[in-house]
Amino acid sequence: MNILVVNAGSSSLKYQLIEMNNEKALAKGTCERIGQLISQLKATGKDGKSFVVEKPIPDHNVAVQLMLEALVHEEYGVVKDINEIQAVGHRVVHSAEDFNSSVLIDDEVLEICRKNSDLAPLHVPANIIGILACKEAMPNTPMAAVFDTAFHSTIPPYAYIYALPYQAYEEWRIRKYGFHGTSHKYVSQEAAKYLNKDIKDLKIITCHLGNGSSITAVKNGKSVDTSMGFTPLEGLVMGTRCGDIDPAVIEFIMEKTNWTISQTMDYLNKKSGVLGISGVSSDFRDLIKAVYEGNKRAELALDVFCYRIKKYIGAYAAVMNGVDIIVFTAGIGEHNPEVRERVLKGLDYLGLELNNELNYNVERGKLTDLSGPNSKVKILLIPTNEELVIARETQALIKNN
Ligand code: ADP
């Protein structure tokens, strides 16, 4: 069975076609800068060959057409006909409290997604446009929505309610929702599988550290707390996002600058984080280089980033009454030994011991056990695969239907 996974953003559309018997990606690609003057499809297809199609992509319908043409292309294509695509799984960023798992898409589901657009106005409308464009091109192909927030629907009220007047939750639906759910779910399940243990008996802390970063406490296979909140701005320090701050800072900045609220939010979302502290970059490759060159503010940014993660690990170990496994994943989690070393340093009270030699000599793209021989807590590096989770969930839904 071939499942197409689609992740539609406001100006991009990413896809992967996954063959489910071997869970292997046959083709992948990204339509970039949709709606802008110069746009393109960058993709890999048959035999892993890369190609670029430079062409105006005025809207998502054209992007979907380009994607389908690439998939059946004479030279690069991986299927003969789009009928060989049995289902499409769409990433949808927000499910609010309406869905606690993935669903097959029908008109009612689309209507609920529209209703929830105000909770993620940059993402959900784009997700819906992507779904509609695919439905138009493949009207008879079943489609599923896989939500970033759904894995966190098991978080208990005492962890998701903010201490605002209760009306803010009831009327405006303000609460912690959490994001990166597919990734946290995938790596926690892979961790249990690797250790040959039932996830129902495990306390796992999953650190998804990418451009956006979040950390989740997974107890008995369920998310019980996560660092992102009502939006992805809360929690860890990120590439350009500030994470946790005193909300009174917002008023103070606005008074100092006369900025509008959207300028101020832009400052917190796009100019802060390790970029803001270091003044160097949001990209950890540049940041680490600057640290090795002796740049003090880059060093400080790295310290602030790692300290915040350590605080959350301590908090989540307390929340779960212990921890059996700590997982590192996503761009930074997988490729930055400096981050893993600094985060885990001084956590020996948890019974945790890092094999630091291996930490600095990891083979790319492989699940690696970084625990020292006497470590009571397993430290695992697990490459994430959000597309595969979306494809698996889509397959399960169409099988049960
Ligand atoms: P997202 O999916 O949230 O956009 P990623 O998971 O791709 O982000 O993570 C991006 C971050 O990972 C960047 O800060 C980047 O520098 C870092 N990263 C990716 N690859 C490497 C690498 N080989 N070495 C060091 N850092 C890396």
Mutate which of 183, 207, 284 for ligand 1? The one with the most ligand atoms within 8 Å of its CB, which is 284
| Residue 54 CB contacts under 8 Å (≥ 6 apart), including other chains | 38, 39, 40
CA-nearest residue for atom 23, ligand 1, is 335
- The CA 73 to ligand 1 mean position distance, Å, reads 31
DSSP string covering 265-276 = HHHHHHS-HHHH
| Cβ count near 81 (within 10 Å) | 9
Strand partners, 54: 40
CA-nearest residue for atom 20, ligand 1, is 331
Ligand 1 atom with minimal separation from the 332 CA: 12
Ligand 1 atom with minimal separation from the 239 CA: 14
List per-residue pLDDT tens for the chain, 401 residues long: 999 999 998 889 999 999 999 999 999 999 999 998 889 999 999 999 999 999 999 999 999 999 999 999 999 999 999 999 999 999 999 999 999 999 999 999 999 999 999 999 888 999 999 999 999 999 999 999 999 999 999 999 999 999 999 999 999 999 999 999 999 999 999 999 999 999 999 999 999 999 999 999 999 999 999 999 999 999 999 999 999 999 999 999 999 999 999 999 999 999 999 999 999 999 999 999 999 999 999 999 999 999 999 999 999 999 999 999 999 999 999 999 999 999 999 999 999 999 999 999 999 999 999 999 999 999 999 999 999 999 999 999 999 87
> 132-166 burial, b for 16+ CB within 10 Å, e for fewer?
bbbbeebeebbbbbbbbbbbbbebeeebbeeeeee
DSSP string covering 9-57 = -SS-EEEEEEETTTTEEEEEEEEESTTSSS-EEEEE-GGG-EEEEE---
3-class SS at 237?
Answer: coil
- The CA 151 to ligand 1 mean position distance, Å, reads 23
Ligand 1 atom with minimal separation from the 286 CA: 16
User: Contact at 8 Å (CB) between 177 and 230?
Assistant: yes
Q: What is the C-alpha to C-alpha distance for residues 161 and 151, in angstroms, rounded to an integer?
A: 17
| Cβ count near 335 (within 10 Å) | 19
Catalytic, 148? Answer yes
- The CA 368 to ligand 1 mean position distance, Å, reads 18
| Bridge pairing between strands 103-104 and 213-219 | unpaired
- The CA 170 to ligand 1 mean position distance, Å, reads 38
Which residues sit with their C-beta closer than 6 Å to ligand 1?
Answer: 210-212, 239, 283-285, 330-332, 335-336
Q: Which one is catalytic: 107, 118, 148, 369?
A: 148
3-class SS at 3?
Answer: strand
| Cβ count near 108 (within 10 Å) | 9
User: Contact at 8 Å (CB) between 205 and 216?
Assistant: yes
| Residue 253 CB contacts under 8 Å (≥ 6 apart), including other chains | 259, 264, 267
Burial of 200 (C-beta count, 10 Å sphere; 0-12/13-18/19+): exposed
User: Contact at 8 Å (CB) between 124 and 92?
Assistant: yes
Mutate which of 336, 340, 362 for ligand 1? The one with the most ligand atoms within 8 Å of its CB, which is 336
